[in-house]
Structure 1
Amino acid sequence: MSHVEDNQVNELPLLAENYPLSIEQRESYQRDGHIVLRGVASDAEIASYEPIITDWVKSLNEQDKPLEQRDTYGKAFIQISNLWEKSEEIQRFVFAKRFAQIAADLMGVDGVRIYHDQALFKEPHGGHTPWHQDQNFWPLDTDKTITMWMPLVPISEEVGSMTFASESHLIGYINRLLISDESHRTLAGYIEGKGFKTVSHGAMQAGDATFHAGWTLHSAPGNPTDTMRKVMTIIYYADGSRVAEPDSKARENDLKRWFPDMKPGDVAASVLNPLLYSRE
């Protein structure tokens, strides 16, 4: 971890205050598998953290090919994972009790652990993100998983939130396809065949957030603008969940990276997965 002066870290907003959810919001999330919540972080809170996150993404980004020379996945975004391990300042943001409590409240569980964070920066004129299910990557024996997706800059209508296939999380696992042109074609056909309603939450302010379940099918449009779409994501799962037997290369890789020294059947609680919120 970088050693920032303690007083520098302590001056950053703590993001601990509760963000109360209505019964309707909880029920809407449970039914649809996704929800948008406005003003989860304030303008002042985002202004404190955005430059720090942006600087770390710049310094850790190893993508040096021009957009036109990359594959579909490479065109979709610059992706930097587990920034909290690198920066005590970003750890304060990622470990925020407010975000974790929302995750627990939406899923209806007593506590949540972090799986990992990811900065997803879609470059100016960057490509679309194909349809996929996040949980294809995760060796977790639970459907109580959720991702917070928070823009750090205003996002216009033409870029918009991700697009979600409402109620698709209720199916659970659909197929093994990872993020690719093939997943986009196959899953678009599947969504149409099942008659799932597709929903984008439109323009978003910095500090708004969407939350979606691990099995919810989702995609994102490209970025036709001249500005970077800066988004921070945090993935949570219910405390007490167990590590699943990895049944794919992607899940084997995730087991090694995100659950060090753990094996299938263990309670999923490695040093990289601290408890971020508990009702007790």
Structure 2
Amino acid sequence: MPNQPTSLPIMNENYEITVEQCDSYQEKGHIVVRNLARDEEIAVYEPLLSEWVRKLNNQDKPLEERDTYGKAFIQIGNLWREQEDLARFTLAKRFAKVAADLMGVDGVRIYHDQALYKEPGGGHTPWHQDQIYWPLDTDKTITMWMPLVPISEDIGSMTFASGSHKLGYINKMQISDESHKTLAQFIDGKGFEKVTYGAMEAGDATFHAGWTMHSAPGNPTSAMRKVMTIIYVADGTRIAEPDSNARRSDLESWLPGLKAGDLVSSPLNPLVYHRDM
């Protein structure tokens, strides 16, 4: 393990989101927030997160032998459960308050976190909707996507179909070549504007709604694209009856011990921010 400081940044201070930013998010289904985590905070947490990604990664096939999903990224979920130091990052109130403000809700819980590390030469992330995987009876879900290293224009950030979240559920296609082709045609047919925020600094973040269609380019560089994501759900949300294998799997993995109709409140779904806290 890398050398660890005796006191890790807690990141509970407020980051003020404007009314204009909230309105833009509600209209487009995505937004970029610059410098949400400071340089000195990223300098502490990036080595810790990366060490655990290396430790937990069980992908042993070379890129050329993987399917499209496998080429897209190394994916490690619920890192916050591995070590208290990592939990300080995922459970940061600063991040959670931004999520609550953008969605216009009083409080948010963790659905889960995910490290998404796109390897040098890694493939594109096909067009998809996150919430086809989630058995959640709400549209109040949001994902924070934060690079832990600077991302150049060559790699780029995600591309969003602006306003697509307003349609809600489109189809059940999981991330695949088929989802990329079908949703790309759908997006073009509906005339949705495709928006990317281009280069990003470590500690910048995008936020997007669970139904917002999005994709990401491949990584043509020699550097690992290191990204940490945190998925939030509005406090008070109930679990929907899972209607697919993907949602049944998510129910078991991220909402253990709960069933349709229950509140999202397992030990894996702590309340991380509420206006009354």
Q: Is residue 214 from structure 1 mapped to residue 203 from structure 2 by the alignment?
A: no
Aligned equivalents of 2:179, 2:250: Cα separation in 1: 20
Q: Which residue of 1 aligns with 2:268?
A: 272
Equivalent AA in structure 2 for residue 241 of structure 1 = T
Q: 2:56 aligns with which of 60, 72, 79?
A: 60
Residues 10 and 243 of structure 1: CA distance in aligned 2, closer, same or farther (over 3 Å)? farther
Q: Find the aligned partners of 1:256 and 1:60 in 2 and give their Cα distance.
A: 20
Does 2:148 align with 1:152?
Answer: yes
* Structure 1 pair 172–9 and aligned structure 2 pair: CA distance change class (3 A): farther
Percent identical among aligned pairs is: 70
Greater displacement, 8-17 / 141-150: 8-17
Answer yes or no: is 1:192 the counterpart of 2:184.
no
Distance 1:216 1:10, change over 3 A: farther
CA deviation string 1:153-204 (max 9, x = no partner):
0000121110000000000000000000000000000000000000000100
Amino acid at match of 1:31: E
Partner SS, residue 19 of structure 1: coil
Gaps of 5+ in 2: none
SS in structure 2 at match of 1:28 = helix
Q: Is the 8 A contact 1:114 1:236 kept in 2?
A: yes
**Among residues 168, 171, 182, which one is paired with 2:167 in the alignment?**
171
2:8 aligns with 12
Alignment correspondent of 2:44: 48
Whether contact under 8 Å (1:9, 1:89) holds in the other structure is no
Deviations 1:11-68 (A, max 9, x none): 0101011000111100000000000010000000000000000000001000011100
In 2, Cα distance between equivalents of 1:249 and 1:277: 31
Aligned partners of 1:57, 1:190: CA distance in 2, in Å?
35
Work out whether 1:96 is the aligned partner of 2:113: no
Q: Does the residue aligned with 1:16 lie in a helix, a strand or coil?
A: coil
**TM-score, with structure 2 as normaliser:** 0.98
- Offset of 1:9 from its aligned partner? 7.5
Q: 1:244 aligns with which of 240, 243, 253?
A: 240
Q: Which residue of 2 aligns with 1:72?
A: 68
2:106 corresponding residue in structure 1? 110
Deviation at 1:10, TM superposition (A): 6.1
Question: 1:131 aligned to 124, 127, 133, which one?
Answer: 127
Instruction: Tell me the distance in 2 between the aligned counterparts of 1:93 and 1:180.
Output: 30
Aligned pairs, number: 276
Letter matched to residue 196 of structure 1: F
- So what's the TM-score if we normalise by structure 1? 0.97
Distance in 1 of aligned mates of 2:5 and 2:233: 26
SS of corresponding position for 2:70? helix
Aligned to 1:32: 28
> Pick from 215, 223, 230: which aligns with 1:227?
223
- SS of the equivalent of 2:10 reads coil
SS in 1 for 2:16: coil
Deviation string, structure 1 residues 66-89 (Cα, Å, up to 9, x no partner) = 100100000000000000111111
Contact 1:9–1:88 (8 Å) recurs in 2: no
Q: CA RMSD in A?
A: 1.4
SS at match of 1:105: helix
Amino acid at match of 1:153: V
User: CA–CA distance in 2 between the matches of 1:10 and 1:105?
Assistant: 32
Give distance in 1, aligned partners of 2:18 and 2:116: 29
Q: Which amino acid aligns with 2:157?
A: S
